[in-house]
Amino acid sequence: MDVVIVGGGPNGLLLACELALGGVRPIVLERLTEPSRVPRSNGLVGQIVRLLDRRGLWERLSGKAGPPRPNKGYFMFAAMPLDLSLLEDSPVHNLPVPEVKTVEVLEERATELGADLRRGHEFLGLTQDVDGVTLTVDGPEGTYELRTRYVVGADGAHSPVRKAAGIGFPGVTHDRSTNRTAQVTIPSDWIDPATGALTVPGHGPILPFLPLRSADGGFSYAPLPGHPPLVSTVEWDEPATTEPMTLDEMRASVERVLGAAVPIGPPSGDGPHVLRRINGGNTRVADRYRDGRVFLVGDAAHVFAAGGTGLNVGMQDAFNLGWKLAAAIDGRADVLDTYDTERRPVADRTITYSRAQAALLSPGEDVTGLRGLFGELLTQPDVVRVLADLVAGADIRYPVGDGAHPLAGRLAPDLDLRTSDGTIRLAELARGAKPLLIDLTEDGGLHVEGVEIVRASADTDVRALLLRPDSYVVWASSDPRPGQAGLRDTVEHWFGVPVNA
């Protein structure tokens, strides 16, 4: 086998899709015999939404036609409104979709592309040598061994693959906060029909999807389409308990945080429904994302205590690793070491994002004062731009060397390209997961072997773009007649040098 992926969640299934697009038929081992119906994440935010559009998955997940539109209203940062209308071009894209549906769509797509999904197969251990990896697996018919060239652990925060490979998982565990979340019903007359706000007598209106911080904790109300509303609280310095979570406990927590009771009832419709308590949190990043022929993606590589960013970052790991593994297996190029050097700094950046929010949500009058000053800064467009880019992950630039074009190392913009066959979005051209050279010069004079060339015109000052299969720009020029020596060197480095050359 070429690649075995351990874990059939969103990250593992997306990686399977990427490998299949690159010509590799992966095996996905999933311990569960059927997809979990337990509610987890409720949506995706930022760059990952644009990347899913590059694979034609936006429409499947959103149920909407056309490209994703940026959020030009409000978002949130540490329970403070982030006014995106202050920006000329918002980088924040939202895709409200439950994780159950994300898994369903990705499993369907991976199967269409030929991935071999094996449910009820549990990873037990591995040994690796210079030529490959031998896995021990417990399947429906007993224990067996599986030999493969590469293994990817997409098996969660407690990753057995990570542990078997001896990869450390340093970080911080804290027990200062208690988070409670439940799907509930709320009387309709408590909801403002104009704004969707939850109006709480004795407290006031609470806007949907905008977390609230009070001196006694935090609260949020999320009326997700097609699902019972989700309410959440966070409180500090509570004694940990292992008793099952109850709706009465949720009601009491809401009243403590808001200083007013909210008549929440049991959720309607078929379950399972969310009713959980999480004591404390973890912020950890693997000390390396690669150990020989073993790789990590998603929660197996990183977990974050706050910010709700884990799945967004994990799915981008899969986009980054998939084409690189496929290129190495095909013998075209070996750039596998760039997976760690590109993606671990993203996790470190996300830790900054997570910890900053946690600090601004903490109790205490000093934090209240800090939030007041921070709120004043959030009226400044330049500050909103910095935080919006941070929220979206748009401030990440992969290493491309000094003096490179400003677009190099960044996700390619979705240009409308006017070609001889008509107008097409760049995002639609990226769906084959192949390297692309977008030639926007007047004479269409760029020539290079090894990549597909699209000659077009567009409303941009850029004259040429070279895209990796994951849609990140590795070379660009605004020169009307770009020099081709640098272009050829870049193509050769990323796409054209056989592993054995």
Structural tokens at position 320: 């980054």
Please write the tens of the pLDDT for every residue from 301-319.
999 876 567 899 999 999 9
Average pLDDT over residues 32-40: 85
pLDDT at 346 over 70: yes
Rounded CA-CA distance 100/106 in Å is: 10
Task: Name the pairing type of β-strands 198-200 and 204-206.
Answer: antiparallel
The pLDDT of residue 306: 64
Q: Binning pLDDT at 50, 70 and 90, where does residue 458 land?
A: very high
Which amino acid does the sequence have at 422? G
Please write the tens of the pLDDT for every residue from 95-150.
989 899 999 999 999 999 999 999 999 999 999 999 999 999 999 999 999 999 99
Rounded CA-CA distance 202/189 in Å is: 15
State how far the alpha carbon of 7 is from the alpha carbons of 28, 67, 154, 469, in Å.
Answer: 7, 30, 5, 23
Rounded CA-CA distance 224/306 in Å is: 20
Helix or strand run (H / E) with residue 94: strand 94-95
State how far the alpha carbon of 306 is from the alpha carbons of 32, 135, 271, 282, in Å.
Answer: 27, 34, 26, 9
Rounded CA-CA distance 127/290 in Å is: 15
- Please give the domain boundaries of the chain with CATH numbers for all domains: 3-171+283-392 (3.50.50.60), 176-281 (3.30.70.2450), 410-495 (3.40.30.120)
Vertex 326: Cα angle to 94 and 137 (nearest 5) = 90
pLDDT at 431 over 50: yes
Task: Name the pairing type of β-strands 3-6 and 150-153.
Answer: parallel
Q: Binning pLDDT at 50, 70 and 90, where does residue 501 land?
A: very low
Rounded CA-CA distance 399/317 in Å is: 16
One-letter-per-residue 3-state SS of 232-298: EEEEECCCCCCCCCCHHHHHHHHHHHHCCCCCCECCCCCCCCCEEEEEEEEEEECCCCEECCEEECH
Higher local confidence (pLDDT), 87 or 449:
87
Which amino acid does the sequence have at 235? E
Beta-carbon contacts of residue 58 (< 8 Å; ≥ 6 apart):
49, 52, 64, 67, 68, 95
Greatest mean pLDDT among 66-80, 143-157, 254-268 lies in 143-157
The pLDDT of residue 498: 42
What mean pLDDT, rounded, does the chain reach? 92
Task: Name the pairing type of β-strands 436-439 and 452-455.
Answer: parallel
Long-range contacts from 147-150, C-beta under 8 angstroms, 24+ separation:
147/1, 148/1, 148/2, 148/3, 148/4, 148/27, 149/1, 149/2, 149/3, 149/293, 149/329, 150/2, 150/3, 150/4, 150/293, 150/294, 150/295, 150/325, 150/329
Average pLDDT over residues 28-52: 90
Average pLDDT over residues 244-262: 94
pLDDT at 499 over 80: no
φ, ψ of residue 151 in degrees (nearest 5)? -130, 140
Alpha helices in 126-171 (DSSP H): 160-164
Beta-carbon contacts of residue 263 (< 8 Å; ≥ 6 apart):
186, 187, 190
The pLDDT of residue 307: 58
pLDDT at 175 over 90: no
| Percent of residues in the chain assigned helix, strand, coil, to nearest 5 | 30, 25, 45
Three-state DSSP state, 391: helix
Q: Binning pLDDT at 50, 70 and 90, where does residue 65 land?
A: confident
φ, ψ of residue 44 in degrees (nearest 5)? -125, 145
Rounded CA-CA distance 296/367 in Å is: 37
Q: Binning pLDDT at 50, 70 and 90, where does residue 405 land?
A: very high
Average pLDDT over residues 194-207: 92
Long-range contacts from 370-377, C-beta under 8 angstroms, 24+ separation:
371/78, 371/80, 371/213, 374/78, 374/80, 375/80
Long-range contacts from 74-77, C-beta under 8 angstroms, 24+ separation:
74/210, 75/388, 75/391, 76/209, 76/210, 76/211, 77/357, 77/360, 77/378, 77/387, 77/391
Alpha helices in 113-190 (DSSP H): 160-164
